[in-house]
Copies of this chain bind each other. A is one copy, B any other.
């Protein structure tokens, strides 16, 4: 027997339509590429995203056709989020930090028909456009009078000229909520990049889950600054959750330095900001230098990589800002866990609370997770046993775009490639990436733990731990270290530094000093490249 409730597809167009009707006055503030501050409302965004949808219709773009963006966080990018997906096309957010050759490869693989780009990225587009064989239309996200006349890009038009002639009225189409809405390629440390293809349904459910008090906690009283880029995993879904809740949005554009971000937070009364640790590190540096304080910022959610305890303490104790760890993946839309406390933690002392806060957090309803051993057997949630982390849920991928790489699922679960523990309260902590774990004498050594100890040494700027083949132990850890400018530490001093900080057998066999550790497009260490660099390396005594 079926229920007798109204049948209504969960579509991204309903988010902007809702914001238009119920939060039309809500503000969208953007720092533009030109450096000025642009202000508009949800009603403006709704109106202009309908114009963009009409413009796409006129281009005769089909249902499901890909429209790519190469853009910072800003109001025009937001209009495309709704105009492209809402009209039935697929928004493909390209990552401008990738190498131009990768951008070409990805644009051709996804068969993009249109590319909309910020003027910052004009040099990239100039370099790649001739090789992007499927793109028919190039749109510069700028005013008509800012369009360069000598770009050499055929048919280039400005976004404003493109949408100007079109009607503000548009009847958003209704279709299956499982239709594709947007896509994002993973950074792909090995092999070619692969794309997650999100659906309208997965996006809406993810936005609901993400806006909950125990996740990003978003309301119509918030002013939200996504430092996380809209070109990567939809800025953690914040643009959708904001339209859902009527939160004010503040977009930093290209100005990601500590001073610019701090000033925007203050000027726009930001209550909540989300980003990766490096951005906050720059901002804290700026604030310490000027002895500055926040007036309105209440919380930040930090993801992408683990947040150093010192940063959590600084935010909390010095600046009165709650720092929440979050964890997710491109393949998870991306939110999986957020580290908010439970009732039973409220009576813990500061140190005990910090021990919880250092974990990646607990699953949002919708996501389930488990850890398994090498044989695939589920491991206990005791906070000690660690194994491969698997997840499932309606905003986790079932497969990659075009079936690349075959089915990634194991009995319906997606293997995250992370190694983790889960404690009895359900708090997950990443201990390593599966491929980076060092398997020594039948035991696992966490490369992250080895790196964290090195990083705690005052002379170390960056550290990467990799496993080297060993005839007896299978693998043994080696730590590759970049020294701070002007600082000195010897191999022997650093190895001695490990004494008492970890089990004896987990101390690396060697230290290799290097000028720089290779980083990928999203700022992660590229251990594959590092291993290539060290291919002639031999472990001492082997």
Residues of A within 8 A of B (CB): 1-8, 10, 15, 18, 21-23, 25-27, 63-64, 90, 176, 178-181, 196-202, 205, 208-209, 211-214, 217-223, 244-246, 248, 333, 340-344, 346, 362-363, 365, 368, 392-401, 409, 412, 414, 424-426
Contact = CB atoms under 8 A, between A and B. Distances in A.
Contact of A2 (B199, B341, B409): B199
A248 B344 CA distance: 10
B214 A212 contact: no
Nearest to A425: B25
Counting from the closest, the 10 A-B pairs by CB-CB distance are A3-B199, A1-B64, A213-B219, A208-B208, A5-B202, A22-B426, A220-B342, A4-B197, A3-B180, A8-B394
A368 B22 CA distance: 9
B197 A3 contact: yes
Given A197-B4, A245-B365, A209 B208 contact: yes
A3 B221 contact: no
A389 B454 CA distance: 65
A198 B15 contact: no
Given A1-B180, A1-B197, 14 more contacts: A1-B179, A2-B176, A2-B199, A4-B399, A5-B397, A6-B393, A6-B414, A10-B394, A22-B365, A22-B426, A23-B426, A220-B341, A220-B342, A248-B343
A220 B340 contact: yes
Main secondary structure of the interface of A (DSSP, over half): loop
Contacts of A6: 392-398, 409, 412, 414
A411 to B, nearest CB: 12
Contacts of A212: 208, 211-213, 218-219, 245
B222 A3 contact: no
Nearest to A176: B2
Nearest to A345: B221
B202 A3 contact: yes
Contacts of A398: 4-7
A412 B32 CA distance: 42
A343 B26 contact: yes
Contacts of A213: 211-213, 217-219, 245
Nearest to A426: B22
User: How many copies altogether?
Assistant: 2
A221 B324 CA distance: 15
A23 to B, nearest CB: 7
Contact of A22 (B333, B344, B363): B363
Contact of A90 (B1, B202, B397, B425): B1
Nearest to A90: B1
Among A8, A198, A222: residue with most chain B CB under 10 A: A8
Contacts of A222: 343
Contacts of A217: 213
Contact of A3 (B7, B178, B245): B178
A23 B3 CA distance: 29
11 contacts: A1-B63, A2-B180, A3-B180, A3-B181, A3-B197, A3-B201, A5-B178, A208-B208, A211-B212, A220-B340, A248-B343
A53 B199 CA distance: 34
Contacts of A196: 4
A400 B5 CA distance: 9
A5 B412 CA distance: 12
Contact of A178 (B2, B18, B197, B395): B2
Contacts of A18: 363, 365, 368
A395 B365 CA distance: 19
Contacts of A248: 343
A248 B346 CA distance: 13
A406 to B, nearest CB: 13
Nearest to A1: B64
Given A213-B245, A365-B18, A5 B220 contact: no
